[in-house]
Amino acid sequence: MISVLTITYQRRHLLEEAIESFLRQDFSGESEMVIINDNPKVEYVSEHPKVRIINIKERFESLGKKLKFGFSQCKYEYIYRLDDDDLLAPWALSHTWDDIITNPGYEIYRSSGHYFFEHNKFKKIAGSVNNGNVYTKKYLSRIEIPEIGYGQDSKMTFNFNAKIYKSTREQKTMIYRWGMDTYHLSGMGKISEDARHEWTDRIVERLAKKRNANVEEGKIILQPHFQEEYYEQID
């Protein structure tokens, strides 16, 4: 029983791909995808019963606060953290569950690496703090999630003496994507949250103009799909 938590802001085209990767899982157990959208001008809607979208009418002050809220909304004990610009490998949840069953008692389960894609092309097996981290609710209840907008993943994972299981499987669970002509919060560095919000909005507006499109507004029914067949690149 696994929840996938995804937080999002003004990236419908990427979010639809993240959802598609969840829907393509070969996992036979119970699962859900919980999406937190805090763009007050947008209401995302999913027609799939396993995808639950929570639209917040006020922007969170920080990414850390948004994560903290998102974790509280997940109903299962194990929570896979997936950014909206990344993807689950097709075996992500089944491999994760097998690791949990065969190696019980850990607080965090994660791969030893991820599939690194640049501009939607597979480059190499790499690694970072985002290797497909799965947190237990019990662990999250004993730590204080940093209410910051930069570096919260690293602090949340490594600063609380967590008992971590690192899978050495050849197959990794997550596709980490870079580039794609979008914003990356980790690339903004240590700046104030107000500055981060303003920078993000400027990028969103610039990219919308580049595509001759409007900035997202109103009710949007999400249509999960892949823009490319990413899985063929990692088989």
CATH number at residue 100: 3.90.550.10
In a domain, 55, yes or no: yes
Q: How many domains does the chain have?
A: 1
In a domain, 232, yes or no: no
Phi, psi of 224 (to 5 degrees): -60, 135
In a domain, 228, yes or no: no
Q: How far is the C-alpha of 12 from the C-alpha of 18, rounded, in Å?
A: 10
pLDDT in tens, 174-205: 999 998 777 666 666 676 777 767 777 787 78
The residues, ordered by sequence, that sit 6+ positions from 221 with a Cβ below 8 Å of its Cβ are: 45, 46, 47
Paired residues of 174 in beta bridges:
88
Give the range of the structural domain holding residue 216, as residue numbers without chain letter: 2-222
For the chain, percent of residues with pLDDT exceeding 90: 75
Q: How far is the C-alpha of 59 from the C-alpha of 215, rounded, in Å?
A: 16
In a domain, 227, yes or no: no
Residue 14 half-sphere exposure toward CB, CA atoms < 13 A: 25
pLDDT in tens, 142-170: 999 887 767 788 999 999 999 999 998 99
Q: Residue 75 region, left (φ>0) first, then alpha (ψ -120 to 50), else beta?
A: alpha
Predicted TM-score (pTM) of this structure = 0.92
Residue that the structure tokens 């190696």 belong to = 103
In a domain, 136, yes or no: yes
In a domain, 230, yes or no: no
Q: How far is the C-alpha of 124 from the C-alpha of 147, rounded, in Å?
A: 32
| DSSP conformation class of 212 | T
In a domain, 208, yes or no: yes
- Mean pLDDT, residues 200-222 taken together: 83
